[in-house]
Structure 1
Amino acid sequence: MGEFSAPILRVNKLNKQFGAGCSHCSGKHRQLDKNYCPVCATVYSCQDISFDLYPGEVLGIVGESGSGKSTLMRCLYFDQEVTEGEAYLTPYKDGSSNLFQESSQQKRFIRNHLMGKVYQNPVMGLRMDFSSIGNIAEKMIAAGSRNVAAMELRGSELLERVHIPVYRMKEAPKNFSGGMQQRVQIAKAMSNNPPILLLDEVTTGLDLSVQANVLDLIKHLQRELNISILLVSHDLGVIRMLADRTMVMLDGQVVEQGLTDQILEDPQHAYTQQLVHSML
């Protein structure tokens, strides 16, 4: 990662709320119970989230469940609409256009060409009844591929790279173990060579040895292809292994961000201190 390179993704004041809000929870003197309004029951999942992601960098996002990490990822991948905020992607219109204000057609283009996402639950990211290679082809077709032979070649190449044996490529992911399903998702997410990969709790629920395998694979691919990765996890071990920088979220807000080593060695915020101590 060049110190002086421009960010590939800039996110500025991203907000996502569920509910209309009321006089009690909006405005300067908002009074929330964590990220929840006790009066009108509006939930403020993401509050003024701003960060930069650099080319070839892994940015970790850590926090307890309910802190807004996954909502942030869903907004960035257009699985959900933001309430307000801006995001700029350098490979898209030279980073001059707020992604959140683009048409749904343009958002689809961005999703299919410039981003890949691996979901915590493979059911969200894969068609369980399609063959594994069919899952990859689906993402390529969405990005405009029409050449069947080329798609088969690319699909088998990718599945091989994520260690799915050749003889199982035509098999459906529903027959696979959790670790294998995650590897198929990774292959699918990478099918169109996106510059950015969004990984949402990709090792949760996997056995430790399988987790280590999946993390190794991600690390290897990231280095080889120089992809930028946003990595959400509640597990500091995963963050320590993969993330160059880390952002700590609590109740929909970023409470601390910095180099991963720095945050783990010398956490500033009380919540981060608690997280780091619980890991020791």
Structure 2
Amino acid sequence: MTEFEVPVLSIKNLNKQFGPGCDHCRNPEPMALIKNYCSVCGTVYACRDVSFDVYPGEVLGIVGESGSGKSTLMQCLYFDQETTSGEGYISSYQNGLKNLFEESSQQKRYIRNHLMGKVYQNPLLGLKIDFSSIGNIAEKLIAAGSRNVGMMEARGSELLSKVNIPVHRRKEAPKNFSGGMQQRVQIAKALSNQPPILLLDEVTTGLDLSVQASVLDLIKSLQREMNISIVLVSHDLGVIRMLADRTLVMLEGQVIEQGLTDQILEDPQAPFTQSLVHSLL
């Protein structure tokens, strides 16, 4: 097996439920749930047995309607939420042998700071909005153990110029920036430690179409230049078509279809995917 056949990230049977569950909804019969909700105890099964691999330099798209579980999945991957059960492995962490979800909170912090970057739909979650832009990047570098101020300033400047933030604005706070500029600062911050994995959660939602296009072009060029692996969540098939090599389709917490993006867009199999694709035409 070559290194390119070894997944950078491997997720097996990830489950996340909100609520205790009960005898009624633990019943394997499909009729026990209304979509992914138990009407008896009120438990929501946000992710149900989600499994996938991401390979070096690959962009994996995850698409689904609102409430399909895709953002909850991203929160679990970045430890913003605890998983209910499941396994996750990163090839560059403990030789890919340690289940990420069972590690201590200290180790999870290490993984977040060194091996992953995340860009949130809402920049308020990913940035300290009153810090300077370069200060936001320094914060991520400090969390990963950097102490050299000169190095952090140089790295921050390099990244901000890569994401097209003007030099004279790098010491300005993101609260003064437009939505598109805030997302570009988030991308720079997420890439500051050169993580092998970048998580993008609905990064263009709420942006003007021209701004969306420039953010997507930026992501595409950085991904090619750095050969980074990306997990990209979107409800917009146009975004998925532009960026993703392979795509998972989620519905009611489950993966209902997966394959090469072209294949899914040209020959969707599941009725939900067919309606999604036809809505794009």
Give the alignment of 1:186-201 within 5 angstroms: 186-201=187-202
Corresponding position of 1:40 = 41
Secondary structure at the aligned position of 2:5 is classed as coil
Give me the whole-angstrom Cα distance separating, in 2, the residues matched to 1:187 and 1:85: 31
Deviations 1:148-189 (A, max 9, x none): 000000000000000000000000000000000000000000
Corresponding position of 2:28 = 28
Indicate if the aligned counterparts of 2:89 and 2:99 stay in contact, CA closer than 8 A.
yes
Give me the whole-angstrom Cα distance separating, in 1, the residues matched to 2:3 and 2:232: 20
Give me the whole-angstrom Cα distance separating, in 1, the residues matched to 2:127 and 2:20: 33
Corresponding position of 2:265 = 264
Corresponding position of 2:9 = 9
Indicate if the aligned counterparts of 2:4 and 2:55 stay in contact, CA closer than 8 A.
no
Determine whether 1:132 maps to 2:133.
yes
1:20 alignment partner AA: P
1:57 alignment partner AA: E
Give me the whole-angstrom Cα distance separating, in 1, the residues matched to 2:244 and 2:145: 32
Corresponding position of 2:120 = 119
Query: CA RMSD of the aligned region, Å?
Result: 1.0
Corresponding position of 1:206 = 207
Give me the whole-angstrom Cα distance separating, in 2, the residues matched to 1:274 and 1:174: 39
Give me the whole-angstrom Cα distance separating, in 2, the residues matched to 1:87 and 1:136: 27
Secondary structure at the aligned position of 1:202 is classed as coil
1:159 alignment partner AA: L
Corresponding position of 1:84 = 85
**CA 1:3–1:102 in structure 2 vs 1: closer, same or farther (change >3 Å)?**
closer
Tell me by how many angstroms 1:27 deviates: 3.5
Give me the whole-angstrom Cα distance separating, in 1, the residues matched to 2:62 and 2:174: 28
Give me the whole-angstrom Cα distance separating, in 1, the residues matched to 2:3 and 2:240: 21
Give me the whole-angstrom Cα distance separating, in 2, the residues matched to 1:181 and 1:141: 21
Tell me by how many angstroms 1:5 deviates: 1.7
Give me the whole-angstrom Cα distance separating, in 2, the residues matched to 1:3 and 1:58: 17
How many residues are matched? Answer: 279
Give me the whole-angstrom Cα distance separating, in 2, the residues matched to 1:27 and 1:175: 52
Tell me by how many angstroms 1:3 deviates: 9.7
Tell me by how many angstroms 1:29 deviates: 2.5
1:16 alignment partner AA: K
Give me the whole-angstrom Cα distance separating, in 2, the residues matched to 1:212 and 1:96: 39
Corresponding position of 1:255 = 256
> Where does structure 2 lack aligned partners over 5 or more consecutive residues?
none
Indicate if the aligned counterparts of 2:165 and 2:181 stay in contact, CA closer than 8 A.
yes
2:209 alignment partner AA: L
Determine whether 1:158 maps to 2:159.
yes
Deviates more, 1:26-35 or 1:201-210: 26-35
Secondary structure at the aligned position of 2:269 is classed as coil
> Where does structure 1 lack aligned partners over 5 or more consecutive residues?
none
1:152 alignment partner AA: E
Determine whether 1:19 maps to 2:16.
no
1:15 alignment partner AA: N
1:254 alignment partner AA: V
